[in-house]
Amino acid sequence: QLWIYPVKSCRGAALTLAECSQLGLGSGPLKDRHWIIVDEACHMITGRVQPSLVLVSVSKKNDDLCLNATGMQELRIPFELPKSNPVKMLRVFQTDIEGRDCGDKAAEWITTYLKNTQPFRLMSYEPTMKPRRSKNNAPVFRDSDQIAYSDLSACMLLSEASVEDLNTKLEKKVKVENFRPVIVVKDCEPYKEVDRKST
């Protein structure tokens, strides 16, 4: 199974075919974790503090990124944002990274959906922006490993067997989706994905 989560912490989109770049999986302009929600201080907002974000579905229609949620009208944002939209420095896991503001309409939609008194903004990563280095947050990564708004790595690989084994040790069961992987494999031994070596 192939998945991408275009807006960080929002619902994933299943793919039958994906392109893989240094920054992760994608399908045309719809790329994994290339949009992020921030507060007034430009600090990231995720499902860890706003759990209802995981109920927002994300899709592509023509040249627009589309967000849908119960009780909300569909939000459509062009993939190609106006250059007049400001670029701001965002704070993502103690690291600064740029993002282009998706505009007031998107900000109002997100703020209304989350029922927040302080405004939130939706920001977009663009190819010309400098990516974050995975190694800044975890020394296990190589100097060349780069990410946009992902937590740590460009591609998270997870096996169904690993989750099944984990559930034998837990009182409260979890699902593969709880880990938000982009590649899900089956028919292997538990934790076999950890043994895979890059070539």
DSSP 14-25: EESS-EEETTEE
Structural contact between residues 180 and 5, judged by C-beta atoms closer than 8 angstroms: yes
Q: With 70 as the cut, is the pLDDT of residue 100 above it?
A: yes
**Are 78 and 120 members of one domain?**
yes
Is residue 57 located within the same domain as residue 83?
Answer: yes
Instruction: Say if CB 135 and CB 109 are below 8 A apart.
Output: no
The label of the residue with tokens 């929600």 reads: 37
Identify the domain containing residue 65 by its residue range. 2-147
Same domain, residue pair 12 and 69: yes
Instruction: Report the candidate in 155, 60, 59, 80 with the shortest Cα–Cα distance to residue 124.
Output: 80
Sign of CA dihedral 92, 96, 98, 104: positive
What is the per-residue pLDDT for 117?
85
Q: Residue 125 falls within a domain, yes or no?
A: yes
Burial class (CB in 10 A: 0-12, 13-18, 19+), 21: middle
Answer yes or no: do 12 and 99 share one domain.
yes
52 and 143 belong to one structural domain: yes
Answer yes or no: do 171 and 73 share one domain: no
In a domain? residue 182: yes
In a domain, 121, yes or no: yes
161 and 99 assigned to the same domain: no
Q: What is the DSSP letter of 130?
A: P
| Between 113 and 199, the higher pLDDT residue | 113
pLDDT of residue 193: 86
Nearest in space to 6 (alpha carbons), one of 81, 48, 57: 57
Please state the domain count of the chain.
Answer: 2
Average pLDDT on 94-120 reads 96
Domain membership of residue 152 (yes or no) is no
What's the rounded mean pLDDT across residues 136-146? 91
The model's pLDDT over 142-197, given as tens digits with 9 standing for 90+, comes to 999 999 999 999 999 999 999 999 999 999 999 999 999 999 999 999 998 887 55
Residue tagged 């302009």 (tokens) = 29
Residue 199 confidence (pLDDT) above 80: no
The whole-angstrom separation of Cα 35 and Cα 92 is: 12
Residues 113, 182, single domain; the answer is no
If one compares 37 and 135, the residue with the highest pLDDT of the two is 37
Q: For residue 137, what pLDDT is reported?
A: 85
Residue 188 lies in a domain: yes
pLDDT digit string, tens, across residues 19-72: 999 999 999 999 999 999 999 999 999 999 999 999 999 999 999 999 999 999
Q: Are residues 104 and 130 in the same domain?
A: yes
| 27 & 85 share domain | yes
pLDDT tops 90 at residue 198: no
Contacts of 142 (CB under 8 A, 6+ apart): 134, 135
* The token pair that represents 167 in the structure block: 């559930």
Do residue 142 and residue 96 come from a single domain? yes
User: Of 102, 52, 106, which is closest to residue 74 (Cα–Cα)?
Assistant: 106
> What is the reported pLDDT for 144?
94
Q: In whole angstroms, what is the distance from residue 22 CA to residue 24 CA?
A: 6
67 closest CA partner among 126, 127, 10: 10
**Residue 108 sits in the same domain as residue 180:** no
